[in-house]
Structure 1
Amino acid sequence: MKIIYQIAIIFSICWVSQVVEALLPFAFPASVIGMILLFLLLATGVLRMEHIREKSDFLLSNMAFFFIPAGVSVMNYFDVLKSSLIPLVLICLVTTVITFAATAYSIKLTVYLMNRRKRNHG
């Protein structure tokens, strides 16, 4: 029963994000809306991590499976993408470096703030 409850929570968040996307007067991905909604629910304490831990761990451990349709689509449209191959590879390389840098600085900031909080409270 616990797994069904966790699946219901995750699918409910996905459904609400789809509804919000349909109601918005501009294009915005439902997946991003869902992540923002999940973050807000977790940050405010309305939803606790224990409510979705097992199912989210399962989904994260099997994440590569969910990239198969996107990979197949890229292969199906390779003839279309071939004309823009160099700009696409360049964009992928640049955004990868930016993502690595943003992640590294986020972790550095988080460690700094945690150490500062520990010194002030401990």
Structure 2
Amino acid sequence: MKFLRQFMIILLLSFLGEVLKMFIPLPIPASVYGLVLMLVCLMTGVLKTSQVKDAAFFLIEIMPVMFIPAAAGLIDSWKVLQPLLLPILVITVVITVFVMVVTGKVAQMIAQKRGIKNE
């Protein structure tokens, strides 16, 4: 019963994200609204982590399974995606390297501010 209650809380916040999406005309996915609502509830203490922890862990554990339908959809769309494959790969590699460099620089900056020496 506890697991069901936790799952229903997560679904309620997701539903509220869908409602917000209908009323706020921004190009932001409804799931992001739901995640922001979850963050606000957790940060303000309206919701305790223990109230959603078990269901959240379960959802994270099964996340790879949730990508199977999306991957199957990509296989179905191969003819449309094939001409775009090279630009997508180039963009993915460039952005990945960029994110790695920026993350490394930010980590170095934080380490220097805290006085942590690099060994």
Indicate the percent of aligned positions where both proteins have the same amino acid.
30
Give TM-score scaled by structure 2 length: 0.80
Give the Å deviation of 1:31: 1.1
Q: Which residue of 2 aligns with 1:72?
A: 72
Q: Which residue of 2 aligns with 1:120?
A: none
Q: Distance in 2 between matches of 1:112 and 1:53?
A: 35
Q: Which residue of 2 aligns with 1:46?
A: 46
Give the Å deviation of 1:99: 4.4
Q: Which residue of 1 aligns with 2:25?
A: 25
Q: Distance in 2 between matches of 1:63 and 1:112?
A: 36
More helix by share: 1
Q: Distance in 2 between matches of 1:8 and 1:65?
A: 21
Q: Which residue of 2 aligns with 1:10?
A: 10
**What do you get for the CA RMSD once the two structures are aligned?**
2.6
Q: Which runs of 5+ in 1 are unaligned?
A: 117-122
Q: Which residue of 2 aligns with 1:88?
A: 88
Aligned length: 114
Q: Which residue of 2 aligns with 1:35?
A: 35
Q: Which runs of 5+ in 2 are unaligned?
A: none
